[in-house]
Structure 1
Amino acid sequence: MPIFVQFKRNFNLIMLGQKVKLLKIALRTYSKKLAGNFYVTTPIFYVNGAPHIGHLYSACLADAISRYQRLLCLENSGITRLSTGTDEHGTKIDRAASASKAPVMDYCTKMSHLFAEVFREASVQHCDFIRTTEQRHEKAVHHFWNTLFERDTIYLNQYNGWYCVADETFITNNQLRLDEQSGARYSLESGHSVEWTEEENYMFRLSKFQADILYWLQQGNRVRPVKFEKILMDMLNEPLLDISISRPINRVSWALPVPNDPTQTIYVWFDALVNYLTSVGYPDGKYTEFWAPNVQVIGKDILKFHGIYWPAFLIAAGMEPPRQLYVHSHWTVDGQKMSKSKNNVIDPTIAAKTYTMEGLRYFLLREGTAHSDANYCSVKAMRILNAELADTLGNLLSRVCSKALNPRQVYPRFHTAQLREILKTNNGRQLRDVLQQFEAKCTQHFNDGNFYMGADLIMSTLHAANRFLEFSRPWELKLKISDVDIDKRLTLPMPQCDENCLKLETIIAMTMDTLRVCGIALQPLVPSLSTLLLDKLRVPYDQRKWRNLNHHFVQVAEGALEPPLEVCLNRTHLILFRRLTPKEDDHVEPKLAKMKEPEKCKKSKRKTKNVVS
């Protein structure tokens, strides 16, 4: 009988026997919250090496998700929480500390601070940076262990199998590759060598929860992109075996001790996964305010641990598994796998000296795709940042804020008659059509976690605004307006103003409005740069929410919104993003401009009621 057919029969029997149990689990743990707090996590990062762009990408991706969630401001929404941190136990850490000739705890502290500093510089707005060497985490891990032990899902047993020291995990026979010449065996997944090990371990009854894991996966949108859900389903096509969750202390000493057994230490992955509970206050009662995680961002290399082991541990403890795993692929460098042996690991701190940290963050989110590996190329990074942030975005802002075109330095109001006339032209209609579709398309991309598609949409919208400005030829209108007309514009009632002056102001206002909309949408991607942009336009903080994407000149033209009042621009000279130079010896970090406190203006605020619904 084929293995799959035999497994399917056995699995059907399991499903039948657990039908009542699954229904109870469904009622107890798999309910959806329509509103409430929102919890996002990154994986915690292993401190056996310094941070690289793969680590930063994970953190920026999770940060973009949490920032977007805050912008949504849904009705009855609660607190959005982002947690990150460092994983500091295991043999590899112990060896790395020895190699650096430092006490292991000192080594962990130093490396953890490197991660924290990189994330701070990259504007990763986390609520908690957890370290697995903290006392609160040891308390949480021991409580979780005891819960599983009391539920009879942990037992002591003699264990033997192939163990990978580099990956700190046991490997099954079908996960091995045999070298015919040397007779050595290697992990198919990582390529690291394995060794036969026989020892006494504590085991977790993973086999008992196969049906539960499958049920969890079948609830829809549990794992995204869908290709990674299929990978998990393939794993579940084979019977799950019980797994070892402890190691003898004489083999792995730098780890948390097993409760009530000084001869064993806790498996590093069991320890690491519990960090998501520790971060929200487990085991104290208030942790339930944020449980279960809404989105857990992970790399594809740790899918098995988060998609099989983690939900099984939680179900065994009577807790709800994560609502969604967002899995991303890896980064190559110039088409090659990033590795220490190839000396091509990209240090974010060094890269930021060329691109700025904000520029690096934008490039990673712009080029990174969850479904397939992305490629880091310095030439491409510089080209994208110059073309999109410096030219498309920065130059457009500079043009409409220039004293030559906008001598009064204002964000003008829309003049309804002129606005409607402009929207009758092909030039005006094209910008209108782009802006009308913007909110729905951008929301879809960001909801799916496809920030690279959102960035593409934002840039295409800015291109449309640049074309609109170019074809509108505002500088020709400006030549028709005398300085006297500009002075009169400050005192005359609207009907008495020069037609060219009103049209010019409306063109500038339409362009600035597109910049405002794109600036709001850019906040999850480049928070510092988008703040500079919105500050320059003097957009009030309460009008920088996602709902404000739909409050634009199209609604003014249709009569759905009153034209907002004129606003004085922030008069500080601003170069939003300086063009980067490809000089190899240039180690000076291009700085994002700092803006001073806005100057006072008689009409310094838009009427909130005109813009916010």
Structure 2
Amino acid sequence: MCGISNKFKNMYKTSYFITTPIFYVNANPHIGHLYSALIADASARFQKLCNPSINVIFSTGTDEHGLKVQRAAEANKVSVENYCQNISNYYETTFRKFNISHSSFIRTTSKKHNVSVQHFWKRLQPHIKKGKYNGWYCTADETFLSEDQIEIINGMRVSKESGRPVEWTEEDNYKFDLRPFKEKLVDWLNHQERIKPKIFHDILLREINYLYEISLSRPKHRVNWGLTVPGDDTQTIYVWLDALVNYLTISGYPEIKMWPPDVHICGKDILKFHGIYWPIFLLAAGLKLPKQIFVHSHWKVNDEKMSKTKGNVVDPIEASHLYTESGLRYFLLREGTAHSDGNYSDLKIRRILNAELADTMGNLLNRCCGKAINPNMIYPDLDSIAIEKLLLDSKFKELNTRLNILSNTVGNHYEELNFYKGIDEIIATLQCCNRFFEYNKPWQLAKNDAIKLSCVLHITLETLRISALALQPIIPALTNKILNKLNVKSRNWNHVTPSWINKDQYDCPKYINKENNILFKKLVIN
């Protein structure tokens, strides 16, 4: 593959295992949940584009046990089973609507998962002891907290991390000491690629200094909606241990088919569970640890934290009625940065979608199909003499340079899950092409220079083809529309190169589909 760096070549593998966290069913999904799924989806799609024969496992699902779910069902006056079914179904509906291409959707209430958890508990048994456990308990977070993890605000003790209230609790349960695994955990974390972005790697290194004994179960009389501890029907398994084992369930545990995962995706609020608890549990069970954990930040709405109290929680399906599924996918992956919180704003969404999907890409495609310059809707062949002359054109030199490295540049960003950086390169290339198109005035060439007009059209259509191919992991439905319009048959990553570089790489289209359709309808800005 021409121009690909060694780092990028390393991604050509025979299998790829990526996971999202499983989402808690105490409420319907919001854009933060969708964003987690989109990162994993874009990554899985990219791996498939690079190697169509690769075996991809992309898992997601719902976490359905615990006190919060129990109380949410009570508040909604339905059985906890029906409540879980309804919310889980809504997640699946949402993911289908946004073309999330997961291979597995796990539910922690499934029999298959119960088998995995029971077996995993038994593997941890040598490290588990029963006894009296006391401490500050946060019901909303379903976790015990140490003194240094809480603070007093307005006379009330709350979790420093979540700001939610805590209460002193004493109970008999099963305990697991994290401290003996500190050295091995540090060895695992010392790999610079282990936790991405680096800001979260540094946070975990600080957290390691505060390992403690944790509770692995809850009394059944207090939390009855959970999996029973093997051999003790008075206790249910801690919801986080139950939830984390979903990754093993997906792999076929206890008979593992593929392990460890290449990437765990998780939000920054659950970093401790994925970056400390989970690797320690795996070490205790004698299993390999995940290759990487990719942590993303949260979404604010108009610069405010999303909350039910404020009434600003954004439902993806409702938002798609305003911006379309492709539009919302594009915005979240375009504006979402892992290292800092994103800001969801109606005005910002409309401006970005209008400027980039409707104008920069959509309008350029429309202009190539205009009757004045392309009445026969052809995808013209490239004249080698005409392109040699164009190489003297500064506008083409810039565009040519961008197109030659786009596969490599965008590919490296996608491989690192920095999709916003890849999109930025693609849009910059399309903007460059718009300048090239405008500079060469094809409406004038149509009157006096048919050969150069064909050359300009070919280069512009090639830019649209290459850009659409590179955007497939981001907006699969919309890029399929563009590629169908251009009659493009070859759609893998090794086709993200211009025809004048890889002349024998693929068959150029001959004609553009004559069906008249708008790529992305411009949104009204009030």
Regarding TM over 0.5, the answer is: yes
Which of residues 237, 241, 245 is equivalent to 1:270?
241
Judged with a 3 Å threshold, the aligned counterparts in structure 2 of structure 1 residues 38 and 566 are, in CA distance, closer, same or farther, namely closer
Alignment of 1:211-290 (within 5 A): 211-238=183-210, 240-284=211-255, 287-288=256-257, 290=258
Which of residues 71, 74, 86 is equivalent to 1:98?
74
* CA RMSD, 1 decimal: 1.7
Query: What is the alpha-carbon distance in structure 1 between the residues aligned to residue 388 and residue 413 of structure 2?
Result: 31
Query: What is the alpha-carbon distance in structure 2 between the residues aligned to residue 360 and residue 408 of structure 1?
Result: 34
1:244-266 CA-to-partner distances (Å, cap 9, x unmatched) read 11000011101111011001000
1:243-289 CA-to-partner distances (Å, cap 9, x unmatched) read 111000011101111011001000000000011111222122xx33x
Which of residues 61, 72, 81 is equivalent to 2:57?
81
**Greater relative contact order structure (CA < 8 Å, 6+ sep):** 2
Who is 1:170 aligned against? 144
Query: What is the alpha-carbon distance in structure 1 between the residues aligned to residue 283 and residue 486 of structure 2?
Result: 50
Query: What is the alpha-carbon distance in structure 1 between the residues aligned to residue 209 and residue 142 of structure 2?
Result: 25
3-state SS of 1:155 partner: strand
Q: CA deviation at 1:554?
A: 4.2
Structure 2 unpaired stretches of 5+ = 1-9
User: Is the contact between residue 47 and residue 108 of structure 1 (CA under 8 Å) also seen in structure 2?
Assistant: yes
Query: What is the alpha-carbon distance in structure 2 between the residues aligned to residue 471 and residue 410 of structure 1?
Result: 21
Query: Does residue 315 in structure 1 map to residue 283 in structure 2?
Result: yes
3-state SS of 1:237 partner: helix
Who is 1:596 aligned against? none
Query: What is the alpha-carbon distance in structure 1 between the residues aligned to residue 333 and residue 161 of structure 2?
Result: 26
Alignment of 1:3-402 (within 5 A): 35-73=13-51, 78-149=54-125, 152-179=126-153, 182=155, 184-238=156-210, 240-284=211-255, 287-288=256-257, 290-402=258-370
Q: CA deviation at 1:563?
A: 9.4
3-state SS of 2:33 partner: helix
User: Is the contact between residue 330 and residue 373 of structure 1 (CA under 8 Å) also seen in structure 2?
Assistant: yes
Judged with a 3 Å threshold, the aligned counterparts in structure 2 of structure 1 residues 86 and 564 are, in CA distance, closer, same or farther, namely closer
Q: CA deviation at 1:83?
A: 0.6
Q: CA deviation at 1:437?
A: 2.6
Query: Does residue 546 in structure 1 map to residue 493 in structure 2?
Result: yes
Q: CA deviation at 1:387?
A: 0.6
Query: What is the alpha-carbon distance in structure 2 between the residues aligned to residue 320 and residue 269 of structure 1?
Result: 19
Query: What is the alpha-carbon distance in structure 1 between the residues aligned to residue 169 and residue 236 of structure 2?
Result: 16
Query: What is the alpha-carbon distance in structure 2 between the residues aligned to residue 384 and residue 456 of structure 1?
Result: 12
Paired AA for residue 495 in structure 2: N
Q: Which moved more, 1:199-208 or 1:123-132?
A: 199-208
3-state SS of 1:162 partner: strand
Who is 1:485 aligned against? none
Query: What is the alpha-carbon distance in structure 2 between the residues aligned to residue 563 and residue 546 of structure 1?
Result: 12
Q: CA deviation at 1:80?
A: 1.3
Query: What is the alpha-carbon distance in structure 2 between the residues aligned to residue 165 and residue 337 of structure 1?
Result: 21
3-state SS of 2:209 partner: coil
3-state SS of 2:59 partner: strand
User: Is the contact between residue 414 and residue 564 of structure 1 (CA under 8 Å) also seen in structure 2?
Assistant: no
Who is 1:555 aligned against? 501
Alignment of 1:470-549 (within 5 A): 470-480=438-448, 500-540=449-489, 543-549=490-496
Query: What is the alpha-carbon distance in structure 1 between the residues aligned to residue 424 and residue 414 of structure 2?
Result: 12
Paired AA for residue 266 in structure 1: I
Instruction: Using the aligned pairs only, state the percent identity.
Output: 48
Q: CA deviation at 1:162?
A: 0.9
Which of residues 513, 522, 526 is equivalent to 1:579?
522
Larger Rg: 1
Query: What is the alpha-carbon distance in structure 1 between the residues aligned to residue 421 and residue 411 of structure 2?
Result: 11
1:35-69 CA-to-partner distances (Å, cap 9, x unmatched) read 33100101111111111110111111111111111
Judged with a 3 Å threshold, the aligned counterparts in structure 2 of structure 1 residues 40 and 536 are, in CA distance, closer, same or farther, namely same
Q: CA deviation at 1:349?
A: 1.2
Paired AA for residue 38 in structure 1: Y
Q: CA deviation at 1:186?
A: 1.0
Who is 2:376 aligned against? 408
User: Is the contact between residue 136 and residue 278 of structure 1 (CA under 8 Å) also seen in structure 2?
Assistant: yes
Query: What is the alpha-carbon distance in structure 2 between the residues aligned to residue 266 and residue 392 of structure 1?
Result: 53
Paired AA for residue 468 in structure 1: F
User: Is the contact between residue 330 and residue 372 of structure 1 (CA under 8 Å) also seen in structure 2?
Assistant: yes
Judged with a 3 Å threshold, the aligned counterparts in structure 2 of structure 1 residues 474 and 309 are, in CA distance, closer, same or farther, namely same
User: Is the contact between residue 537 and residue 569 of structure 1 (CA under 8 Å) also seen in structure 2?
Assistant: yes
Paired AA for residue 430 in structure 1: E
Judged with a 3 Å threshold, the aligned counterparts in structure 2 of structure 1 residues 566 and 46 are, in CA distance, closer, same or farther, namely closer
Judged with a 3 Å threshold, the aligned counterparts in structure 2 of structure 1 residues 34 and 517 are, in CA distance, closer, same or farther, namely closer
Q: CA deviation at 1:207?
A: 1.4
Q: CA deviation at 1:440?
A: 2.4
Q: CA deviation at 1:582?
A: 3.9
Paired AA for residue 139 in structure 2: V
Paired AA for residue 234 in structure 2: T
Query: What is the alpha-carbon distance in structure 1 between the residues aligned to residue 94 and residue 516 of structure 2?
Result: 29
Paired AA for residue 223 in structure 1: I
1:336-373 CA-to-partner distances (Å, cap 9, x unmatched) read 11111111111111111110111011100011000000
Q: CA deviation at 1:428?
A: 1.8
Query: What is the alpha-carbon distance in structure 2 between the residues aligned to residue 465 and residue 283 of structure 1?
Result: 54
Q: CA deviation at 1:441?
A: 1.7
